[in-house]
Structure 1
Amino acid sequence: MRMPATDFKGSSPSLAHFGRALLSLRRDPVQVHSMEGSATPQPQYQNSNLDQELESFQKQVTDRFLDLSSAGQDDLLSLSWVGKLLDSFIYLQEEFRYILHNHRTLVFKPPVDRMMSDFFERNVKALDVCNAIRDGIDQLRQWQKLLEIVLFALNHQKSIGEGQLRRAKKALIELSIVMLDDKDSNASLAQRSRSFSRNAVGRDHHHNHHHRFRSLSWSVSRNWSAAKQIQAIGNNLNPPRGNDLVASNGLAGVIFTMNSILLFVMWTLVAAIPCQDRGLQVHFSIPRSFSWAAPLLSLHERIMDQSKKRERRNSCGLLREIHQIEKSTRMMNELADSVHFPLTEEKEGEIRQRVQEVSQVCETLKDGLDPLEFHVREVFHKIVQGRTEGLDTAGRLNQQES
């Protein structure tokens, strides 16, 4: 079942054909608010309740980003950290939807209606980023399988023979070529990934559970650019003016906050994961009056610093595990080129040490790629759900007024 982002690009506010009613909102168990009784008509708004909800939301954003920014340098941009970032996005997206639902008659009146329209357009662009990231995760699985060939050839062997080393070296060379190709040009990433995945499923029974995820996978067009998409999400994203805050009863602030979170999360995914035409040039214009500005901007600075390091400058992704793959592959290749048979005890010990490092990388990928793909899929569906419900509500309110 394919779910291309273009299916959600319509601008008609009714979107009745999606068959989603606003009052079918389902809160995740992790949420702190209850939606029970939401079908009961609510007052247009109550300033005290709205102010409390907006203040609570801003505090939750701050707490989440303070936690994310507390990560040490070794954890930043790891698979587990990226998963934590996406968890935070999903949680905050739900809280944002809750506020919009509670004050829906305010949301679709000027000037908030214009702000929400811009937010929904950014949502569509974010869906394309999710598509590209899913392709990138498939590419990481290809690299993982090549590393597993190295392990199969060299690990748990009583003695390492010339044929085994030759087989491992062939996989390492193929991996180096694939990764170098992705550094130079990502234009055919999705096509290579799809081709490899189909063959892999046929060859390897244990890979079947990955195919269940892939059945919901999407692709982006060949001329699509991650860098341009991130720039488009960030275009005209300016802090709310004082008169907009007053006219919107403070909702302009929370909409700007959610827009900024969306931009940061999509930018981080593009920075971390291989995808077409990656680019990290983005400007965050966030006043320090927002309590979450400092930790978010600190994370942005730290990620940019990672991208400027000599060994990461030309990488196809800043994910920590990608750096580990690049490092392990380079060291294994250098070691394989330097050995002569029969192996000395010292050389065989060196090889086994490097093989152990490759094994650790493989285990991390094996444990982390499925959860990451699940998180990206959840982000995609949450964005679609929120946008659909919002546009559907606008249509219902317009019908009631007319």
Structure 2
Amino acid sequence: MSSADNHSPSPQISSFGRSKNRLRQEQVHSLEENHRSSTRDSELESFQKQVTDRFEELFRVSDDELLSIDWIQKLLNAFICCHEQFRAILLNNKEQLSNSPLDRSISEFFERLVKALDICNASRNGIEKVRVWLKHLEIVLCALGSNQRALSEGQVLRARKALMDLAVAMLDEKDCGSVFPQRNRSFGRHNTNKDHRRHFTALSRSHSWSVSRSWSAAKQLHSIASNLVPPRGNEIVATNGLAIPVYTMNSVLLFVLWALVAAIPCQDRGLNIQMSVPRQFSWGVPVTSLHDRIKKRERRSSNGLLKEINQVESCVRNMTELVDSVQFPLTDEQKMEVKERLKELSLVCGALRDGLDPLERQVREVFRKIMTCRAEGLDYTS
């Protein structure tokens, strides 16, 4: 026998070596899978906790703070934070997004995002409408507060005209038309002032995001809410739990859009959307409780339930009653009432001046986040 034959490995030894290597590879693969699974579970749990914490904080506010500009900004900030964490989950699991049944729920989510963009546009439209109201309020404030020594009849007439213009501007859109529903329409159908027509036509041209005249916020919300059902147990297992954050983000999106439509003047507003969340979702309690609290205010205003809008409407009523009843020369009691009403009006104008710009910036930020998420998601699934 040659020396080469003496040193060649036996078939049994070679087979054992291959089996050992295969076992080692399987162990490494199993460890990697366990690590990925553990990381994913931790990620999903963290996401659910953030959503719960954010909405519990939003729920804890008093009735007076609820639906204020400050509260809406906190709501939008909560959406942005939850949305960013959800985007990270999609990125970390992008290889699974095209697998059934996750592909269908992801596709439906992206369709809802497209519809959400319309509501963001309508909300920015509504904020612009409130800015127009503010201009009329500032005219009233200037007219009645410009002469500290004595209030003249001319000042009262100027304030009365501004209040009448404001009343027309605040009519429900079905009665007098939206401020910017179409680019070729100017503010106020009966306004014959050429300067006003040019001003508002220019404004409407600068806002290409305005929705069409036939668009309906109520119908859009119903479309977003349709077929939004919790994932079944087999879907959760088949998607390695990813069906849960997709359902959660869909629900958060629906509530935030619904709250925006509730608070801000939107074309064909309607709040008849049900929020029903199974008990196993910890964030369901604060979300449904907030929904119920807001629904109780539904009939308070046709323009919007925003706290500052309610204050505007109250100031307009009080100031209109005052200028309609004032007689010259003014009594000391009337002078005192004018002073009190002007103080109220000044506070409302200040709140709108300080709050509308940051609110619009945040709505724009939500718009951009949604656009980015959808573009990324389409890349992942393609």
TM-score class normalised by the smaller sequence: 0.7 to 0.9
What is aligned with 1:320?
A: 307
- Per-residue CA deviation, residues 112-135 of structure 1 (Å, 9 max, x unaligned), is 111100000000111111111111
How does 1:3-402 map onto structure 2 within 5 Å?
Answer: 46-158=36-148, 159-182=150-173, 184=175, 186=177, 189-191=180-182, 195=186, 218-308=209-299, 312=300, 314-395=301-382
Q: Is contact 1:185-1:277 (8 Å) kept?
A: no
Q: Is contact 1:57-1:95 (8 Å) kept?
A: yes
Name which structure has the greater RCO, CA cutoff 8 Å, separation 6+: 1
Superposed displacement of residue 109, structure 1? 1.2
Q: Is contact 1:123-1:387 (8 Å) kept?
A: yes
Which amino acid letter does the alignment assign opposite residue 251 of structure 1? L
Superposed displacement of residue 152, structure 1? 0.8
What is aligned with 1:35?
A: none
Report the CA distance shift for 1:199/1:250 in structure 2 as closer, same or farther (over 3 A). farther
Superposed displacement of residue 221, structure 1? 1.1
- Secondary structure, in 3 states, of the residue corresponding to 2:86? helix
User: How many residues get paired?
Assistant: 344
- Per-residue CA deviation, residues 191-222 of structure 1 (Å, 9 max, x unaligned), is 49974599689989xxxxxx8xx956501111
In the aligned structure 2, how far is the partner of 1:43 from the partner of 1:221? Answer: 50
Report the CA distance shift for 1:336/1:114 in structure 2 as closer, same or farther (over 3 A). same
Q: Is contact 2:69-2:307 (8 Å) kept?
A: yes
With normalisation by structure 2, the TM-score equals: 0.84
Q: Is contact 1:172-1:333 (8 Å) kept?
A: yes
In the aligned structure 2, how far is the partner of 1:201 from the partner of 1:369? Answer: 24
Superposed displacement of residue 178, structure 1? 1.7
Q: Is contact 1:153-1:168 (8 Å) kept?
A: yes
Report the CA distance shift for 1:362/1:199 in structure 2 as closer, same or farther (over 3 A). farther
Which ranges of structure 2 fall in alignment gaps of 5 or more residues?
Answer: 1-31, 189-193
Report the CA distance shift for 1:196/1:286 in structure 2 as closer, same or farther (over 3 A). same
Q: Is contact 2:121-2:209 (8 Å) kept?
A: yes
Could you tell me the percent identity over the aligned residues?
Answer: 55
Larger radius of gyration: 2
Report the CA distance shift for 1:237/1:334 in structure 2 as closer, same or farther (over 3 A). same
Report the CA distance shift for 1:273/1:194 in structure 2 as closer, same or farther (over 3 A). farther
Q: For the aligned residues, what is the CA RMSD?
A: 2.7
Q: Is contact 1:142-1:196 (8 Å) kept?
A: no
- Per-residue CA deviation, residues 360-379 of structure 1 (Å, 9 max, x unaligned), is 10000000100111011111
Q: Is contact 1:154-1:164 (8 Å) kept?
A: yes
Which ranges of structure 1 fall in alignment gaps of 5 or more residues?
Answer: 1-41, 205-210, 396-402
Structure 1 runs, 4 residues or longer, greater than 3 Å off: 42-45, 181-189, 191-204, 214-217
In the aligned structure 2, how far is the partner of 1:361 from the partner of 1:111? Answer: 51
Which amino acid letter does the alignment assign opposite residue 317 of structure 1? G
Report the CA distance shift for 1:194/1:380 in structure 2 as closer, same or farther (over 3 A). farther
Superposed displacement of residue 45, structure 1? 8.0
